[in-house]
Amino acid sequence: MQIPEKLSEIIKIAKKVCVLTGAGISAESGIPTFRSGGNSFVWKGMPFEQISSAQMVRDDLDAVWEWFDYRRKIYKDCQPNAGHIALADWENRFEYFNLITQNVDGLHERAGSKNVLELHGNINHSKCERCEKVYEMSAEDVPHKPETCEICGEKVRPDVVLFGEMLPFEIFQKAENKSRDCDLFFIVGTSALVYPAAGLAEIAKYSGATLIEINPEETPVTSFCDFTLKGKAGEILPLL
């Protein structure tokens, strides 16, 4: 792909860069999206949206953990791709760089990114709902551990945002502030359908940032992007 000369010049002088990534960048590493073509993955008779819901945590936490441990087992064999690695390099390239992701797979950190705002949490973290202590698990911890909180004895749950839950206020507020205060905003591998995360691109655009989309397909934000680079993140990001 030929990168537009004007975009190359803009990137050269940029000081404040913000990137929002979605499921597309991780799909290139073999991470299943669980929702595609209008269909939803079914786990033991339950649609993805049901087994990954706050209601299921209340009704059957053991079933939720069985599902998340299954996903973690898949994820541990997936490796960061060239897109993840390019973004990790950008931390040293730009004076101010912020990476925001909707993904829970932890591939950005494994690629070397140090400061990632994980809007939806991390599949390798668990937390206690009573005292809110967070536990970090290794990829080898399948099934998960610990099962109960070492402080209060309550069962722990996956530390991810489930259907029926709000995004963590503090993390999303940081993401909003970073989006509002950048020269360039990249929206990479996301359908731009899931709000409020999709609204970050709009915040950046209306705050004066140049908006660049990287995606194989058109999305709802394509029409108001300044540049649209059609293709895979793992192929395009290294070119930039």
Which is catalytic among the residues 84, 108, 120, 144?
Answer: 120
Q: Are 213 and 239 in contact (CB under 8 A)?
A: no
120 is catalytic: yes
Give the Cα separation of 85 and 104 in Å (integer).
Answer: 17
CA distance linking residue 208 with residue 182, whole number of Å: 8
Residue type, 113: S
The tokens describing 161, both together, are: 């945002």
Question: In 10 A of CB 129, how many CB atoms?
Answer: 14
The values of phi and psi at residue 136, to 5°, are -105, 130
Look-up of token digits 């079914």: 42
Answer for the pair 22, 31: CB distance below 8 angstroms, yes or no: no
158 is written with which tokens?
Answer: 């996956």
Two structure tokens written together for 22: 């979605």
3-state secondary structure of 111: helix
Q: Tell me which residues are annotated as active site.
A: 120
